[in-house]
Amino acid sequence: MPGLVGEYECKLDAKGRFLFPSGLRKQLDASALEVFMVNKGFENCLTIYPMNEWDKVSAKISKLNLFKPKNRMFYRLFHQGAKQIALDKAGRILIPTALMERIGLKKEVMLTAYNDRIEIWDRAEYLAMMDENIVDFSDLADEVMGEINDEDGGE
């Protein structure tokens, strides 16, 4: 699967469902649209993984030495509240209530897709976070990407 990209504004219905954006559907293989895993993200968001990507992440995490307390805690936190979800016949995804409450999702949400995952944010919180960090993008790019030396010499 090539890397996912895009931002999508969605609205939650009274049951906590949203219509899975067609722009994301087009980026996923048919098999990847069948089942997803959702968990709490690293920031105040949820993360949706296509099942094949979840399996890859789980394989990496399973290599952690669980005799180390920090590794056990990471394992617990990563899997806490994780649920398997799927598109319904109308193309909607139901977000588990406990996960919605945990991050304070309201009616308007923002989906942001990158690489192998899709994050679900409360729209207002996502926009505020992006506005707050956009001024530092140049410095962040230098810090994160500045040490990468591409063989072709380009960006």
Domain residues for the domain of 38 are 4-123
Q: What is the pLDDT of residue 153?
A: 52
Q: Is residue 67 part of a domain?
A: yes
Residue 139 lies in a domain: no
This prediction has a pTM of 0.87
| CA–CA dist 88, 137 (Å, integer) | 38
Q: Is residue 52 part of a domain?
A: yes
Number of domains in the chain: 1
Strand partners of residue 121:
110
pLDDT interval class at 151 (50, 70, 90): low
C-alpha span between 43 and 76 (Å, rounded): 16
72: tokens are 């056990």
User: What is the DSSP secondary structure assignment for residue 88, as one 8-state letter?
Assistant: -
- Assess if residue 114 is contained within a domain: yes
Highest average pLDDT, of 7-11, 22-26, 30-34, 135-139, comes from 7-11
Residue at 155 is within a domain: no
Amino acid at position 135, single letter: V
Torsion-angle region of 49 (φ positive above 0: left; ψ -120 to 50: alpha; else: beta): beta
Q: What is the pLDDT of residues 43-53, one digit of tens each?
A: 999 999 999 99
Tell me if 138 is assigned to some domain. Answer: no
> What is the per-residue pLDDT across 58-76, written as a single tens digit (0 to 9) for each?
999 999 999 999 999 999 9
